[in-house]
A and B are shown apart, each in its own frame.
Chain A
Amino acid sequence: MFIQQVINGLAMGCIYGLVALGFVLIYKATEIINFGQGDLMMIGAFLAFTCVNFLHLPFLLSLLIALVLMGFLGKIIDRFVLRPLVGEPAFAMVMATIAIGILLRSLGGMIWGYDTYKFSAGITDVPVRIGSWAVSSVNLWIMAITVLLIIVLYFFFNKTKAGVSMEAASQNQLAAYLMGIGVKKVFSNIWGISAMVAAVAGILLTPIQFLNYNMGFIGLKAFPAAVLGGFGSIPGAIVGGIIIGISESLAGIYLPRGFKEVFAWVILILVLMIRPEGLFGIHQKKRV
């Protein structure tokens, strides 16, 4: 029972981690916190769902289409919503991303309706025996894809030129600009990548949770994950997500009713009180 809950929590944690990764990418590069990340996740999942169930395309092709469309959506959001706001106070940016979230959610509701759908995302749920425990194959898939995605992102950010220029832009925008890096293009790409990561998270979430226009609210729970990992740290986001996922799932069986829903937020407030820079964050001081 304990191990089972840990594994369930691990899978859920990977998804929180992936959504948190989306926040972190955008935050690192642009210092914006995207409150609409969960809704991007919902749109991504619905796009794949539409391709598979209505257009009858094979799953992998649908995934590809969803990723490409989401990449464009991310770029569109950056171009038409956030770029005109560069230089505005952070509060305006936060409200803009909240507005994006609201718009995407109502758009999702208008296009796909307010019903709950079942979509197994090409993954069949069979129990897999490892030693003496039975593990759902869905959970194994989620973990495997998360690990794969992290490896891909790691190589992208450390080995490719585009990735390194993104890293540069996130460390010092002005210096990067002077070195001939197109900061606008970098921001646009970051939004694209972040939206794609959100889509992957959404598609991976569908075998565990039903597909619904409101599912973006799950994405809000990625905030504790990102904060726990230290906002701005890519491994931190995943580790934070996994810790949140496991502790939430254990809280569901060992603590009284109601704790499961808010346990992530309790952790968040504790982290912010004890160690606001998180596990992997660097304590930043602002120069005056």
Chain B
Amino acid sequence: MRFVKRMNYLQDIQLFKYHSTIGWYLILITAFLAAPLVMGTYWVSLLILIGINIIVALGLNLVTGYTGQVSLGHAAFFAVGAYTSAVLTGKFGVSFWLALPASGVVGALVGIVVGLPALRLKGLYLAIATMGFGFIIEEIIVQWEPITNGVNGLSIKRPSLAAFSLASDKHFYYLVFPIVLLSVLVLKNLLRTSSGRAFLAIRDSETAAESMGINLAVYKTAAFCISAFYTGIAGALFAHFMRFIGPENFTILESISFLVMILVGGLGSVHGSVFGAVFITFLPEGISLSKDYLPTFIGQQAGLQAAVYGLVLLLFIRFEPLGLYGRWLKIKFYFENFPFYKKDTFRKVRKFHRTQKQ
């Protein structure tokens, strides 16, 4: 067991609790920087997808996990980012390095448009409204043919940095990785500020937050805006990574899979976002790899992936609502307190009262 001697209040919000953690993270970063040198192209492309998913998960976690506003329309922000970058670089010849921040900004603007009506809505209504918004954006992409090329989709080129082309996956990885790292750091730091704590307060009780002087309208819109910025950036990276996008990449199922990602990883935690992104990227790969070992009756089913997906989601909600990160914390806690771990340490305390209807 390690004890940190608290000397001042700022210690409570510092990025790393122990000094040794910094060392471990540096080793991890070095390992990831070196990864493409030893890995095959297939694994590198998976790592890139994980990176893109991490950015989305961070954004969605900010709005859903930290601020408590369920969004079933994040595929729309993803689509807006992807199409902004694709159209700007493809049709208008804008440099990728301008188009990338632009897609984040356009995403954020759309986020504000969605966030504003969302202010009046609580919980499940918000989920339905964002779902409707997702459908509308999807239809706009299909119908706005002069710009988006409709159902035929758009092809996109990989960017280049001065004379250095990022066309191969291994090079593209070195574009995605710093952006992921930056996203994590920015979010981690945002959560340390008073704004970050305001988000948490809104999640825990809107009424209490409002009575503490937190302007709900401003903070909820800000949460949507930042989240949409993240998702827009991820969308742009996705577009340039896949080199082809169409409306079928941005359906309601995509929004659901984003939610599954943060739920399986861990709601309201940055580690959880990363775990969830890794999980959701590996799940389809794992299923297609294990197909050969399963009995033909199960292995050859076309709907197998969706079924596993639904089942995993149900099992996590039922048995590990805190997600993979929650499980990780519990395991860590067990070893840190080794002989003194009690079975009921993490027993859930559930509230059975409901809102009083009038």
Contact = CB atoms under 8 A, between A and B. Distances in A.
Contact of A262 (B135, B310, B351): B135
Nearest to A283: B358
B120 to A, nearest CB: 6
A33 B356 contact: no
Nearest to A36: B310
Interface in B297-346: 301-304, 306-307, 309-311, 313-314, 317-318, 321
Nearest to A260: B139
B267 to A, nearest CB: 8
B193 interface: no
User: Chain A interface secondary structure, helix, strand, loop or mixed?
Assistant: helix
Contacts of B216: none
Given A109-B302, A109-B303, A224 B120 contact: no
A108 B336 CA distance: 47
Nearest to A98: B256
Size bracket of the B interface: 35 or more
Contacts of B129: 268-269, 272
B52 interface: no
A286 interface: yes
Contact of B317 (A88, A273, A287): A88
Interface string A180-220: 00000000000000000000000000000000010001001
A227 B125 contact: yes
B121 A272 contact: yes
B306 A269 contact: no
A99 B117 CA distance: 27
Contacts of B318: 81, 84-85, 96
B143 interface: yes
Contacts of A95: 259-260, 263, 313, 317
Nearest to B70: A91
Nearest to B135: A265
Contact of A102 (B124, B267, B310, B352): B310
Given A96-B317, A99-B313, A265 B136 contact: yes
Interface string B167-191: 0000000000000000000000000
A170 B357 CA distance: 9
Contacts of B311: 99, 103
Given A223-B128, A272-B120, A258 B143 contact: yes
Given A103-B310, A288-B207, A261 B139 contact: yes
B350 A88 contact: yes
A56 interface: no
A132 interface: no
Interface in B234-276: 252, 256, 259-260, 263, 267
Interface centre among A98, A102, A171, by most chain B C-beta atoms within 10 angstroms, is A102
B283 interface: no
A86 B317 CA distance: 12
Given A106-B307, A110-B301, A94 B117 contact: no
A154 B101 CA distance: 56
Contacts of B286: none
Contacts of B354: 31, 173-174
Interface string B142-161: 11000000000000000000
B127 A94 contact: yes
B203 to A, nearest CB: 10
A106 B263 contact: no
Contacts of B352: 86-87
Contacts of A87: 350-352
Nearest to A287: B356
Nearest to A170: B357
B283 to A, nearest CB: 13
Interface in B63-79: 64, 68, 70
Contact of A258 (B120, B139, B304, B353): B139
A262 to B, nearest CB: 4
Contact of B128 (A81, A173, A268): A268
Contacts of B303: 105-107, 109-110, 213
B58 to A, nearest CB: 18
Interface of B: 64, 68, 70, 117, 120-121, 123-125, 127-129, 131-133, 135-136, 139-140, 142-143, 207, 252, 256, 259-260, 263, 267, 301-304, 306-307, 309-311, 313-314, 317-318, 321, 350-358
List 8 A-B pairs, minimum CB-CB distance, nearest first: A87-B350, A102-B310, A106-B303, A265-B132, A103-B310, A258-B143, A106-B306, A99-B313
Interface of A: 31, 33, 81, 84-88, 90-92, 94-96, 98-103, 105-107, 109-110, 114, 170-174, 213, 217, 220, 223-224, 227, 231, 257-258, 261-262, 264-266, 268-269, 272-273, 276, 282, 284-288
Given A33-B124, A102-B307, A272-B117, 14 more contacts: A86-B350, A88-B317, A91-B68, A91-B70, A95-B317, A96-B313, A96-B314, A98-B313, A220-B131, A223-B128, A265-B133, A266-B136, A269-B132, A286-B355
20 contacts: A81-B314, A87-B352, A91-B64, A91-B123, A91-B267, A95-B263, A98-B259, A102-B306, A109-B303, A227-B128, A258-B143, A262-B135, A262-B139, A269-B117, A269-B129, A272-B117, A273-B117, A276-B121, A276-B125, A288-B207
